[in-house]
Homo-oligomer: A and B are copies of this chain.
Amino acid sequence: MKRRSFLKGATVAGVAGAATSTFPAPAISQGLRQWRMVTTWPKNFPGLGTGAELLAKFIDKGSEGKLKIEVFGAGQLVKPFDSLDAVIAGEVEMGHGTPYYWRNKIPAIAFLSAYPYGMTAQEQNGWIQYGGGQQLAEEMYSELGCKYFLSGNTGVQMGGWFNKEINSLNDYRGLKMRIPGLGGEVIKAAGAETINLPASEVLNALESGAIDATEWVGPYNDLALGLYKKAKYYYYPGWHEPGTTLDNFINLREWERLPSDVKAVVEAANVAVNQLVLSEFVARNNAALKTLVGKHGVILKQFPESVLASFSTLSDKVVNDLASNDQRSRRVLDNILTYRTEAVAWTSLSETTFTAARFLYSYNKA
C-alpha cells in the first residue's frame, strides 16, 4: 500500500515522520511529548470540537504536561475524512471523529457509532463499556494500527432538514441527502441518493443544490451550522442515529510508547469527555431548538408513524443484509443483539415508565 501524505501545504511541512519532527529529541527524552490531534469537526465546534479540546486539556493537566496535544479543526492539517489515514500513517498521533466515517475500511465499524433503531446513548455506553463493545472496537481499530477510545455521544439526533414535508416514504425517492453510516444505507434503500459530507460543507451543498436535504446532529449543533438558512422543515426523531458515539483514535505505536500513567490519564480523560459531551448536548439542545423555531421560523415536525414503520422494515433488511455478507458485521451485530434485548427491556421498564409518569407532575404549577 502506497503511503501518501495527507497533510496540506507548506505551512505544515516537516511533520510527515518522526525523523522530521518539529519537537526536539531532548524534550522527549525528559518524558515530555507534544502530539497533534486532527479532528473531523470545525475547530471548537459546539459539543464535538469542544469535546476534542476538553480531551486535550484533561490529558495535558492530568499528565502534568508530559503529553501536550495541539488540536486541529477539520481541514487545518488534513481533510476531515482523511483524519484516520493521517493517524494510521503516523503523520499525526491522534484523531477525533466518529466510527462510521471509517466504514469504507471495515464495514462493521459503523455499528460502533450508531445504527438505525438501535440504542440510546445510555444503552450504547453500556454496550461498549460493559457489554463487549470495547473488545470488538479494539479488535477492529488495532487492525488499522490504532488504539480506540469511546469519546463522546450526541444523544438522540434529529431526523433531518428538508425543504418539503415528509408524508410518506415516496417523498425520499430521488432525494439527494447528506446522511452517513447505516442510516444512509436505509435512505438509499428508500430510493434516495446519499452522500456523506463533513460539517464544513453541508450548508454550501444545500445552497448549491448539490443536496436537497441533510441531517447533522441536533439543535445545538445544527443552529451553529446555520442549516436553517437553507432548509425549512426540521424532523424528529433521529431513528437512524439514536445515540451516536465519537471516537478517539491513536496511532498504535505512539500509544504503546506512552508510560503507563499517561495511558491511564488518556483513558480516564476519554471516559470523562464521553460523559461531558453528552451533558453539553442535553443542557443546550432545547434552548437552541427554541431559537430555531422562534427566531428563525423553522417548522418542527415529527415523522408520521407510517414513515417510521417503513424505515423500521428497511432498517431490518439493511442491517441483516450487511450481516449476511460480512462475517465481522455478523459477529458485531450478534453481540449487540444479545446485549440490546436486555438493555431495551430495562429502559422500557425504567426510563420509559418514569418519563411517562412524570407528566402527572407539575412543579411549575405550584
Which residues 326-345 in A have Cβ within 8 Å of B in the complex?
337, 339-345
The answer for the CA separation of A275 and B272 in the assembled complex, in Å, is 7
Q: A265-B268, A337-B363 are in contact. Are A343 and B62 (CB under 8 A)?
A: no
Known: A316-B361, A363-B316. A268 touches B58 (CB 8 A): yes
Partner of A302, one of B126, B156, B353: B353
Q: Which of A16-24, A95-103, A200-208, A307-315 contacts B (4 or more CB under 8 A)?
A: A307-315
A4: CB under 8 A from chain B?
A: no
Report if A349 contacts B (CB, 8 A): yes
Q: Does A11 contact B (CB under 8 A)?
A: no
Q: Chain B residues near A283: list those with CB within 8 A.
A: 126-127, 129-131, 339, 342-343
Q: Is the interface of A mostly helix, strand, loop or mixed?
A: helix
Once bound together, how far apart are the Cα atoms of A265 and B336, in whole Å?
32
Please tell me if the beta carbons of B279 and A125 are within 8 angstroms of each other in the complex: yes
Partner pick for A353 among B218, B236, B289, B317, CB 8 A cutoff: B236
Question: CA–CA, A123 to B354, complex, Å?
Answer: 13
Cα–Cα, bound, A265→B275 (Å): 16
Mark out the residues of chain A between 266 and 285 whose CB falls within 8 Å of any chain B CB in the assembled complex: 267-269, 271-272, 274-276, 278-280, 282-285
> Which single member of B286, B316, B353, B364 contacts A343 (CB below 8 Å)?
B286
Given B284, B345, B354, which contacts A156 in the complex, CB threshold below 8 Å? B354
Q: How many residues of A contact B (CB 8 A)?
A: 89
Q: In the complex where A316-B366, A366-B320 touch, is A355 in contact with B352 (Cβ < 8 A)? A: yes
Rounded to whole angstroms, the CA-CA distance of A256 and B286 in the bound complex is 37
How far apart sit A299 and B62, CA to CA, in the bound complex (Å)? 48
A312 and B343 contact, CB distance less than 8 A: no
| Other contacts beyond A62-B261, A126-B278, A127-B283: 20, CB < 8 A | A62-B264, A63-B261, A117-B357, A117-B358, A126-B282, A130-B279, A237-B349, A265-B268, A268-B268, A269-B272, A271-B275, A275-B275, A285-B346, A286-B343, A287-B342, A303-B357, A316-B361, A316-B366, A319-B363, A340-B363
